[in-house]
Structure 1
């Protein structure tokens, strides 16, 4: 029996909208922009897995949740590592071709000073800010209700605590926003996606 043959374009159409699409995009990426887009897509799928099963995640701490994210990213073909020594012990790092490096700090929403600590760790401790290593995520685990309001308040806090940081809306997801500032080491723009992961669970059917 002959095996079906697919062109790359046909394969992309077959997996469009599925987690596999992020894997293929990353494997075939020819530049840092494409690698970044694939990583962010994969992270979105992994975070949504946590959200879909939030009833089983209640009470889990930052490390446990982050390890789950890393495991999902590894299974998807990304070189994801938890607590790797990259200028310190970064929550999530993904390395790729041509010295590509994406980093993330994951924090449970408890106080805005705690979230700012995660941002400062990412922006001033772990990252290099050089080309191909100038993007990262702050992932916010929201066990409290109304993740949208929480991420909006964090945006205001981020700007008030860091006068050099500029933010902008996300066109694709109201539970995230983007920030940009000059990296203190490289002098280049450093970009951060701030993403809320909605884990509040309080069913009213009983």
Structure 2
């Protein structure tokens, strides 16, 4: 730095230069996670608006929130496919990727994790995974998802039988970095990237169940349609992923008629 430059700089500018700090990925990630937790709390308080929405609408809401608090966040960016959520620092020297799935069958949710781990992640040290849970008891669901990953239950998923060695490479049994937190909305899970590096994937859950049992709720037609959508989506996911047909075919057909009345005209 030349003397001429120092002579022309103001005291305020010099102070700013002195206080410049190198980018700290861990600090950035912890700040990001704090803001995500805040976003989750806000979204859960308005679950009546999102209780039956698809993944894209809820993901869009999360991205808008992150943009609103100053992050360079985007949806469906390209990284060996379309990544649900991408967050970068101001200089774009750091990238955080995340995938999102609705909380139906664990095998179906695992498909989202497979996308994140075997397709999108490359050099990242941190990544994220969101579960949008639209039914009762999200805590039990999340604990079971924790067990599904850490105990190796994913190995029973028939669809990955010809990729089992690859899955075992990426997903180790009992690889939990941190157990459940006090607010029960996240846990960390360590995977191995394609390059052999450890990546800490933070799993988040959004509890979006909304089905009020008061008189207004019981008589709300749009609420009945929304709950029918959730039920049909869950049943079809289990039917497809786990070869489990509907236990109550009458309920399934009645729900289909509520969601798609034009098919029954």
Residue 137 of structure 1: CA displacement?
1.2
Name the one with the larger strand percent.
1
- Per-residue CA shift, 1:74-121, capped at 9, x if unaligned? 111101010000221000000114721111111001111111111111
Say if 1:147 and 1:175, in contact at 8 Å, map to a contact too.
no
Bigger Rg, structure 1 or 2: 2
Q: Which whole-Å CA distance do the structure 2 matches of 1:122 and 1:63 have between them? A: 16
Aligned length: 175
Tell me the residue number matched to 2:65: 72
Looking at secondary structure, tell me which structure has more helix per residue: 2
Task: State yes or no: 1:137 paired with 2:145.
Answer: no
Q: CA-atom RMSD, angstroms?
A: 1.8
Q: Is it true that 1:156 corresponds to 2:142 in the alignment? A: no
- Following the alignment from structure 1 to structure 2, what is the Cα–Cα distance between the partners of residues 104 and 98? 16
Runs (4+) off by over 2 Å: 170-173
* CA distance in 1: counterparts of 2:96 and 2:147, whole angstroms: 25
Alpha-carbon separation, structure 2, partners of 1:188 and 1:152: 26
Q: Give the TM-score normalised by the residue count of structure 2.
A: 0.62
- Aligned to 1:197, the other structure's residue is in SS state strand
TM-score normalised per structure 1: 0.79
Note the 1:1-206 alignment, pairs <5 A: 30-96=23-89, 97=91, 99-128=93-122, 130=123, 133-159=124-150, 160=152, 161=154, 162=168, 164-165=172-173, 166-167=175-176, 168-185=178-195, 187-206=196-215
Structure 2 residue runs without a partner (length 5+): 1-20, 155-167, 216-265
Query: For residues 152 and 98 of structure 1, do their structure 2 counterparts lie closer, same or farther at Cα, with a shift above 3 Å needed?
Result: same
Deviation per CA, 1:127-178: give whole Å up to 9, x if none: 11x2xx2111110000011111001111111231255151241334323211
